[in-house]
Amino acid sequence: MNQPLLIRGGRIIDPGSGLDKTRDLLIDEEGILRFIDMNSVIPESDYLIIDASGMIVCPGFIDLHCHLRQPGYEEKETIATGTRSAAKGGFTTVCCMPNTKPALDNPVIIKLVQDIALIESPVRVLPIASITKGRQGQELSDFKTLASLGVAGFSDDGSSVVDENLMRKALEECRELGLPLIEHCEVPELASDGVINQGRVAKKMGLKGIPSAAEEQMVARDIRLAGDTDGWVHIAHASTTRTVELLRWAKSEGIHVTAEVTPHHLTLTENEVVTRGTAAKVNPPLRTQADINALVEGLNDGTIDVIVTDHAPHTRVDKECDIAEAAFGISVFETTLASLMTLVHSNKITLNTLIDKLTRQPALLLGKRDGITGRLEDGKAADLVMIDPNREWVVDPEEFVSKGKNTPLSGVTLKGKVMATVSRGKLVFVDELLSVR
């Protein structure tokens, strides 16, 4: 039983229902959401009360791509620290990638993650199983058994499935299960030993680049295979102009392809590597402003379906070294909303589009499993986030809940802040400046 919560005067935005209106919300002791009339007479002594004036209240964010690192890499992150970080970032559901040790390729490990999450996580955790055993790209995992455990999809994230026949078989199996094959698109021969985007900055710094073609050639292959098999391929972390063009064409042809993009690929260019060094090293690499423009356009016209974090925490040892040796990845949960709000404040995307790509759209890709609808629904368990769109704050990674302090945004002033998160009817994060009485 939870203490009931009364949220007064927030601007309620729910893209799923089209609601955009200032009103009050009540969350009862069972965690059930109730819409109530503004200034309804409520015995306030029975409730925790939040004055949400000037704030936005929307469905809780859903992340289809993150790395919680457990089991095997607990020095980087644990399910407990990662999901508390997610809650601080406004996420109420996260899907964790299988590049753990051991990989999430069998029922025992999937169940382990689910059991730990049930005890230690303030938000829902849906595992993504590996496409191949051990993520070795040689033998398919037991898709049917893993699907029966409720996995969100299949991926060898960090690696592509290079063997075309194996990829074809995987798509055929996923088709029968109605689940996505989430593909990290990269031709190994083109990307091998690459450090940052192939281009002007790499040349200036004397670093081996990762060409756009490394991504685009694999995207083209996977689109073709999805068309041949009627399978569902989901392109992970799209990063180039040509990838957007390929996705747009595939959708126009009726091929079952969906795609995601990260906050950093929408807001940061390869120039960040010059000043931020290893903190800006990520795979796929940060690209050019032209690529950002294409990704934003793809987000706006529906070519790109969802925004994900690709939260990839690392230790200081992983990052405080020569850039050629440093690990790829950025700790993203706690900066996602604010970094994306730069696109809203600069009129690149609308607030409604931003919320839609973090809530309703990912819920649709999940098939609304476990009651996850990405909506605010009267009479249903409350998953919501409260946002102050105008609050300015300076990113200090030492204040991250995540173990991963690796961010290229350290010291940057951002505008927009998650103030509170409610997951399954329970208040799981409250900003220190938010008054709850």
Instruction: Tally Cβ neighbours within 10 Å of residue 244.
Output: 26
Pairing assessment for the beta strands 413-423 and 426-430 based on DSSP bridges = antiparallel
Instruction: Tally Cβ neighbours within 10 Å of residue 434.
Output: 17
If we measure between CA atoms, which residue out of 304, 284, 305 comes closest to residue 293?
A: 304
At residue 230, what is the residue type? D
Catalytic (active site) residue 396 = no
Residue with tokens 């016209």: 301
Separation CA 252–CA 303 (nearest Å): 10
Could you give phi then psi for residue 160, rounded to 5 degrees? Answer: -85, 160
The per-residue DSSP string of 382-408 comes to --EEEEEEEEEEE--GGG-SSS----T
Separation CA 135–CA 111 (nearest Å): 18
Separation CA 147–CA 388 (nearest Å): 38
End-to-end CA distance of the chain: 19
- Joined tokens for residue 381: 């368990």
Radius of gyration of the chain (CA): 21
Separation CA 146–CA 111 (nearest Å): 10
Q: Which of 156, 310, 356, 388 is catalytic?
A: 310
Q: Which residues are catalytic?
A: 310
